[in-house]
A and B are shown apart, each in its own frame.
Chain A
Amino acid sequence: MALEKELETYKTKLPELKALEGKFVLIHGENIVDTFASYEDALKQGYKQFGTKPFLVKQILAIEPVFHFSRAIGPVRKAS
C-alpha cells in the first residue's frame, strides 16, 4: 500500500507525538521530519524536501476521526 511505511512510523511514534496533539507531522519513510502548526506548512516542507517522492502529512490526534458519507462510495488504497 502507498505510505504503508510512513503510517507504521506514525503508529510507532504516536506515544511520543501525543504531547504535540493538533499539530501536523511530516513523515518520510521511518523518519519524523518535523511538526508544523498547519497542514499547508507541512505540505510545503514535504514538497520542498522530498519533491514528488512519497511523504505523509498527518495531524497528530490521540483518537483518529472517522468521516461519514451518506452516499455509497468506495475507498481507495493503491498498491505501492
Chain B
Amino acid sequence: MPHFTLNIDPGGPIVNALVQISEGRRAALAAQKSPIPEPQVIRALVDTGASFTSIEPSVLQLLELSPTGTIDIVTPSTGQNVHTTETYDVNFVIYAGPGDPPLSMPNLRVAACELFSRQGIHALIGRDVLKQCILVYNGDFDVFSLAF
C-alpha cells in the first residue's frame, strides 16, 4: 500500500500537494486551443475536522478556474448560520514515497474558502479525501503517516 511518513509541522500534519486543472477542463481548453495553466504546488493541512476538501481562492485563480457548483457550509467564523461557497473541480495529487504511486484524484470537487494563507497553508484535506486513506498521527514521535 503506498504510504509516506512526515514530521508534524508546528501548524499540524501538512503535506505538499500538486493541484492542477481537471481532466475535463484540460480537454475543453485543448479543444479551444487555449493555454493550459501551470500546476501549483500547495501546502495542505490534513484536517479531520473538515468534512470537505477546500482550497484558497488565490490558488484557484492561478489555475483560471470557474465554479461548477456550490455547497453549504458551517464554520466557527460563520457561527450557527449556513453559508454557501463555490466548488471547483481540480486534479489533486498527493505524492507517496519514491517508487510508490501517488494518490491521484483527477476530478476532485473542492470548496473555495478564504483565510488559509494567513495560517501558512493553502488547503485543507478533508474527510472526503481521507476516506480513501489510513491516517496515523503519532504525537509521541512527532510524525504522521498517510497510506492509500
Contact = CB atoms under 8 A, between A and B. Distances in A.
A binds B: yes
Interface of A: 2-3, 7, 39-40, 43-44, 46-48, 51-52, 54-58, 64-78
Interface stretch (B1-9, B71-79, B129-137, B139-147): B71-79
B16 interface: no
A51 B124 contact: no
B54 interface: yes
Contacts of B113: 69, 73-76
Interface of B is mostly: mixed
Interface of B: 22-25, 27-29, 31-32, 34, 47, 49-52, 54, 57, 66-78, 82-86, 89, 107, 109, 111-116, 119, 124
Contacts of A69: 47, 49-52, 54, 73-76, 113, 124
A72 B22 CA distance: 27
Contacts of A73: 54, 73, 75, 77, 113-116, 124
Given A2-B86, A76-B57, 11 more contacts: A46-B68, A51-B28, A66-B72, A68-B50, A71-B75, A71-B124, A72-B76, A74-B77, A75-B73, A76-B86, A77-B86
Max count, chain A CB within 10 A of own CB: residue among B67, B74, B78? B67
